[in-house]
Structure 1
Amino acid sequence: MTSVLQISDLHIAREGQLVSDRLDTAASLERLVTRIAEILPAIEPLDAILISGDLSDDGSAESYRLLRQSLARLDVPLFAIPGNHDLREPMRAAFAAEGYLPSLGGLHWARQLGDIELIGLDTLVEGQGGGALDAAALDFLEHALEASGERPVLLALHHPPFASGIAFMDRIGLSGIDGLEKILARSPSEIRIICGHIHSTMVATVAGRVALSAPSPCSSFAFDRRPDAPVGYHISEDGMLLHTWHGAFRSVRIPICAGAGPYPF
């Protein structure tokens, strides 16, 4: 079995700084790490933790340092892709020691992990909220899928390749989805797509493949389909997604709070 724990949209800022003058994302990260440490005995062996974007809220080197410091106590291999709040060069420097990020260009990468191929695509357009799968990203994906043979693929990107139904988030959604769908349709591999950005768990299909978005441990967006829905976030801490491959993909949401129990039936 191959297992990957996905966390997303951590929005870590410089030490002592509140995001939007309200969110203590450093504290929410500590609660998330404590929760992961608690559940590790139940979900081991865990092959990797994947962060699907918005590691940082401000793209500062200090925010990446604080993030690495918090996650280090889990002692689990760490992979990450950038979100719209990240900056490539500080993030590249922060994760240089792991050796999976390219030294130049977009932060696209691929690694065989156990029985699967784990692929990360960079959809960041610096200075914008929306993302893009440009020609370089699509070319990287096509070659990575070819190189993986017929291994099952866990494909990670920050911006969802589907509409969320939340108007203000869809206005900063992903372009280049048509190109993605064409590549996926040609691949013989079993592919599961995972993403972040919308701070909630949604399930969709893209070119016949299951696509899931992960919740955020620091905030959420209300599912409000009205065109004039209020633009803003809710202070709500959610959990993470555990993706496993054992002849087929299975994805499980794990909440940040265990709740009371277990009680006997």
Structure 2
Amino acid sequence: MKIVQITDTHNSAHGGISNENLVKMIEFVNELEPDLVVHTGDVSILDPDNEADRATAARLLGELKAPLRVLPGNHDIGEPGEAPIGGAGVTSARVAAFRAVFGDDRWVEYIGGFSVVGFNSELMSSGLPEEEEQWAWLESLPAQLEGRPTIIFCHKPVHAPAPGLPASTYSIAPQSLDRLRSIVDNIDVQAFGSGHLHRWALEFHDGVQSISAPSTAFVYPGVEGQFGPSLSQLGIVEYQLTEDGGVTPFFRARPDLAEHYAVNVDTLRLALEEMGIDMSTLDITVRDVLRIA
């Protein structure tokens, strides 16, 4: 049994490198013949209100042959916290727009004896009515999953990648993490899978492996210094599942991907301009990662 995680494809209605890389990676994923493909968010290049970018991403992802589940990222619906990137806070309207194209933003799939769970990390600590609806659903999971070995996917890491980083920007905020932990402690979690950080890394938290999946679109320079040991390279993650409940993740990539730093991607710069974002107003850590003066 096999699951493929793809993430941070950052597709644009204007075309460009990120779209071209995704087309290549979809061909690659189809050759792997997974039982399920999970996209862990940021289907859109940047603007959560750009309907054309969403439609473009949906069209490209439609070429996958395996069943597909898509979760929202901060560039798809905005994010919680007092200083969301570009001023794009998560809203009910943005959540609804995402759901209209990609379906539910929380779900359970069953593969063999495994449960595969996806939830919306951008609702955590948002205060939106959708957050409490999701909490009620999460609290129902231990009974629903009936002790099956489980993989849990979301956009932002469940656990902070490094000390001192703003929680709602780089991972789930501590108050939400405590509540989430009280739920997952009653689930046989074999792995957490996330995106957002554009890096491949495998870590362990309380004995459970946490996988950070790389982007297929572009890389951030210096992520090793910001987030700890990792591989800053485009690719995907393949999860091999065994009948005894084991989960083994593997980094996979094609050698012909066009690998660029974020600030050298024309469609990203165009999206920033279209949103009227002044680079100097971005969070200092974000600017450091993007090498923006």
Find the partner of 2:60 among 55, 70, 78. 70
| Distance in 1 of aligned mates of 2:99 and 2:158 | 24
Find the partner of 1:241 among 229, 237, 242. 237
1:84 matched to 2:74? The reply is yes
User: In the alignment, residue 65 of structure 1 is paired with which amino acid?
Assistant: A
Q: Which residue of 1 aligns with 2:161?
A: 164
Aligned pair count? 224
Q: Which residue of 2 aligns with 1:116?
A: 114
User: In the alignment, residue 223 of structure 1 is paired with which amino acid?
Assistant: V
Paired residue secondary structure (2:62): helix
More helix by share: 2
| Distance in 2 of aligned mates of 1:110 and 1:146 | 13
1:166–1:224 CA contact under 8 A, matched in 2: no
| Distance in 1 of aligned mates of 2:65 and 2:226 | 44
Paired residue secondary structure (1:124): helix
Q: Which residue of 2 aligns with 1:251?
A: 249
User: In the alignment, residue 202 of structure 1 is paired with which amino acid?
Assistant: A
Deviation at 1:157, TM superposition (A): 1.0
Normalising by the residue count of structure 1, what TM-score does the alignment of the two structures yield?
Answer: 0.74
Paired residue secondary structure (2:240): strand
User: In the alignment, residue 244 of structure 1 is paired with which amino acid?
Assistant: Q
Q: For structure 1, list consecutive stretches of 5 or more residues without a partner in the other structure.
A: 18-23, 102-106, 228-235, 260-265
| Distance in 2 of aligned mates of 1:139 and 1:199 | 30
Q: For structure 2, list consecutive stretches of 5 or more residues without a partner in the other structure.
A: 78-94, 258-293
Change (3 A) 1:166 1:200: farther
1:48–1:78 CA contact under 8 A, matched in 2: yes
Q: Which residue of 2 aligns with 1:95?
A: 102
| Distance in 2 of aligned mates of 1:109 and 1:254 | 25
Q: 1:21-46 deviations in whole A, cap 9, x for unaligned?
A: xxx3xx323323323424533x33x1
2:30–2:65 CA contact under 8 A, matched in 1: no
| Distance in 2 of aligned mates of 1:39 and 1:54 | 18
Change (3 A) 1:75 1:16: same
Paired residue secondary structure (2:108): strand
Paired residue secondary structure (1:251): strand
| Distance in 2 of aligned mates of 1:171 and 1:121 | 16
Q: Which residue of 2 aligns with 1:181?
A: 181
| Distance in 1 of aligned mates of 2:214 and 2:205 | 19
1:7–1:50 CA contact under 8 A, matched in 2: yes
Q: Which residue of 1 aligns with 2:276?
A: none
Q: Which residue of 1 aligns with 2:47?
A: 58
| Distance in 2 of aligned mates of 1:38 and 1:210 | 25
Q: 1:43-78 deviations in whole A, cap 9, x for unaligned?
A: 33x112111011112122221211121122232211
Change (3 A) 1:91 1:202: same
Normalising by the residue count of structure 2, what TM-score does the alignment of the two structures yield?
Answer: 0.67
Identity of aligned pairs, percent?
23
Paired residue secondary structure (2:234): coil
